[in-house]
Amino acid sequence: MSADEHRLAVAVVGGLHADARHAAVEEILRTVPGSVALHHDLSAATDRAVRRTVRDASGPLGGGEAPLVNDCACCALREDLVPELLRLATGGGHRLAVVELWDSVEPQAMAAVIAAEGAPLELTGVATAVDPALIVPYLANGDDLAEAGLAAAPADQRTIADTFARQLEYPTLIAVAEDGMSGEPADCGDHALLTQLTPGAGKLWLGEGALGPALLEGFDIEAAAARQHPACALLPQEGDDHGVATLVWRRGRPFHPGRLYAALEDLTCAAARSRGRFWLADRGDTLLSWDAAGGALCVESAGPWLAALPDAAWEMVPPERRVAAALDWHPGHGDRCQHLTFTSPGLDRDGLLALLDSCLLTDAEYAAGPDAWRRLPHAFDELLDPVF
């Protein structure tokens, strides 16, 4: 039998809101004939194995265990996922395999594993299931996953807030649970926050039966990765609805490293979620990423700005990044820029604007030029160049 005859559509459904996720998967099994769900329970990893279950709309079809790999439950999931999907594909009789991720597993990583395998597996959709009443408390929760019993590996240092934020921002579909699932109804502000944080995702209400068919429509793994890359990320747009606002801050001169560093705590706590890319005067060739949620901030190097690369290297850059750079291009400093977004209920837009602008180089500092900028105090060395 040919690979085409064995083709198996695969969809990923994730999310820290377990009740919403379970409801989404059960709806898919009920509404898509020939669908089957595969789930790896990482909570049993303390028993030296990850438990696997396979079920369809009628109930369990089988199960088993995957041994830990280097004491890592997430590594065991990675090792076991594709062989199980291939077994389902070659067994025939299934139209769609739904990979129901465990709570803290992020969809981007597992989508990449499935897409890399290729035929007979075809990744056709990625969704995160959300209880809108829980969005604010989860984005505000700075607890480590390990403290909550949700770590996926021994070295997992993620927090509930940053994990939840990435689960929201990667997929092209958000499965929205019915109000009251968590015991508290969502209000208009909760839905406004969800809309502003996920500009590139379609919202589908559970109970309407639309999620399963939507997950069969196809998924572009390269475009999804580009939407997450700091250089060309699909960031929230300006918004103000039901007390929830998004500020998009774009400027064409660099930050003073010392003044920005002194303002980090206030900037990090100014919004439920902030993201983007920024330019430090003393690191003029380095594109830096900004990622904050739950009162914690991660700043990292995302490689060079395009303006810092030789022309020949541009051919190796994804087209999405070249387009994003062209939109910000300046005749003097190329694509170097500030592009940060802040989204939150009760956002103090005026105060935030004033604080951000105060961290930029002054007119006199800017006029001194790049050679002088490089001699400014290197306040971010500890964050960007840690010594272990």
- Report the CATH number at residue 21: 3.40.50.300
Residues 97, 174, single domain; the answer is: yes
* pLDDT tens digits for range 358-382: 999 999 999 999 999 999 999 999 9
For the entire predicted model, the pTM comes to 0.94
For 174, the token pair is 């958000």
Least confident of 184-198, 244-258, 322-336: 322-336
CATH of the domain at 357: 3.30.1220.10
How far, rounded to the nearest angstrom, does the alpha carbon of residue 296 sit from its chain's CA centroid? Answer: 16
User: What pLDDT, on the 0 to 100 scale, is given for residue 69?
Assistant: 84
Residues 108, 221, single domain; the answer is: yes
Check: CB of residue 142 under 8 Å from CB of residue 32.
Answer: no
SS3 256: coil
Domain count, the chain: 2
User: What pLDDT, on the 0 to 100 scale, is given for residue 47?
Assistant: 65
Residues 214, 281, single domain; the answer is: no
Residues 166, 197, single domain; the answer is: yes
Residues 82, 59, single domain; the answer is: yes
* pLDDT tens digits for range 10-62: 999 999 999 999 999 999 999 999 999 999 999 866 567 899 999 999 999 99
Distance between CA atoms of 104 and 102, rounded to whole angstroms? 6
Domain range holding 167? 3-228
Residue 233 lies in a domain: no
Residue that wins the pLDDT comparison between 266 and 326: 266
The residue whose two tokens read 């490089």 is 374
User: What pLDDT, on the 0 to 100 scale, is given for residue 321?
Assistant: 87
DSSP state of 271: S
Q: Is the dihedral of CA 311, 317, 318, 323 positive or negative?
A: negative
Phi, psi of 118 (to 5 degrees): 75, -160
Residues 243, 329, single domain; the answer is: yes
Q: Is the dihedral of CA 180, 184, 188, 192 positive or negative?
A: negative
SS3 114: helix
All residues at 6 or more sequence positions from 364 whose CB lies less than 8 Å from its CB, including other chains: none
Residues 124, 255, single domain; the answer is: no
